Amino acid sequence: MLFLNVLFGVSAVLTIASSLLCVFTKNIMHACVYLLGALLGVAGLYMTLGADFVAVTQIMVYVGGIVILMLFAVMLTGGKEFVSKAQKLLNLVPLMGNKWTFLIASLASLVFAGVTVQLYFKLPEFFKTVDNTEFSSTVDELGKLLITDHLLAFELSSVLLLGALVGAAIIARPRKEEVK
């Protein structure tokens, strides 16, 4: 229980701090690194929920794949050039946006957050805590579920991944007339 509390605290602080920094940073490369911190934090939260397989898959796919892809994309498209030059007050905050888009976005999000918090606090189970802290392995169970109840979704996702792989390769390759 002690260990779980420590893990939860660290992960929650890591997630929230990194995501806030991700909004307020001006450099898109830094934003990707903060995204990495937030994703690791979410993986820690999965661990406290006893979802070991999901947590490790999160680290595997996001850290090993998506974040590196994003870093590559930022580097290939020259990330630093796009920092806006006019940097006063609210223009400091978002990268490349102007203050109106940021204001509208924040207001809309605040309204959304207010409604969500209101709704959540009305839930009867809101303060329910984790009852048993002894986790059993989810791997065997997940494997069985994937090839019985969710077989169709599993097969479809493999087709989706293949399509994404081929599509990405076709889209990103240089056209023949451009090579000449």
Partner 1 sequence: MNSTAATFFTSIEAVNQAIVTLSEKVGFNTLPLVSLTIILVMALILTLVVATIGGYGTYAERKISADIQARIGPNRVGPYGLLQPLADLVKLLSKEDIFPMAADKFLFYLAPFLAILGVFSTLAVLPIASGLILTDLNVGVFYLIAISSLVGVGVFLGGYASNSKWSMLGGMRGASQIISYEIPVTISILAVTLISGGMSFGKIVGAQGGLPHQWFLLHNPFTFIGFFVFFVGGLAETNRAPFDLPEAESELVSGYHTEYTGMRFGLFALAEYAEVFVLCGVATALFLGGYQLPLDVTNLPQIPVQVIQSVVFVMKSLFLYYVVIWIRWTLPRIRVDRLMSICWKYLTPLAIFNLVGVSVWEVVFHGQSLAQLILGH
Partner 2 sequence: MISYGSYLLISAFLFVIGLIIMMARKNIVAILLGIEFILNSAALSFVTYSKFITKNLDGHIFALFIIVIAAAEAAVGLAIIIRFFQIKETIHIDEATELRN
Residues 31-50 that bind partner 2 (CB under 8 A): 31-32, 35, 38-39, 42, 45-46, 48-50
Residues 132-171 that bind partner 2 (CB under 8 A): 138, 141-142, 145-146, 149-150, 153, 157, 160-161, 163-165, 167-169, 171
Residues 104-143 that bind partner 1 (CB under 8 A): 133-135, 137-139
Question: Closest separation between CB of residue 125 and partner 2, Å?
Answer: 5
104 binding partner 2? (CB under 8 A): yes
Identify whether the C-beta of residue 11 lies closer than 8 Å to the C-beta of residue 41.
yes
54 binding partner 2? (CB under 8 A): yes
Question: Closest separation between CB of residue 138 and partner 2, Å?
Answer: 6
CA distances from residue 48 to 2, 10, 19, 57, 146 in whole angstroms, order as listed? 12, 11, 20, 15, 23
- Positive or negative, the CA dihedral 48, 53, 54, 57 is positive
59 binding partner 1? (CB under 8 A): yes
Q: Which residues, including other chains, have CB under 8 Å from residue 89's CB and lie 6 or more apart? A: 99
> How many other C-beta atoms are found inside a 10 Å radius of the C-beta of residue 75?
12
Number of residues binding to partner 2, judged by CB under 8 A? 88
The CA distance from 39 to 42, in Å, is 5
Please count the residues of the chain.
180
Number of residues binding to partner 1, judged by CB under 8 A? 29
Q: Give the tokens for residue 51.
A: 């979802």
Question: Closest separation between CB of residue 62 and partner 2, Å?
Answer: 8
14 binds, among partner 1, partner 2, none (CB under 5 to 8 A by kind): none
Q: Give the tokens for residue 12.
A: 């929650």
Query: Can you spell out the DSSP letters for 161-176?
Result: HHHHHHHHHHHHSPPH
Residues that bind partner 1 (CB under 8 A): 1-4, 27, 29-30, 33, 36, 52-53, 56-57, 59-60, 63-65, 67-68, 71-72, 75, 133-135, 137-139
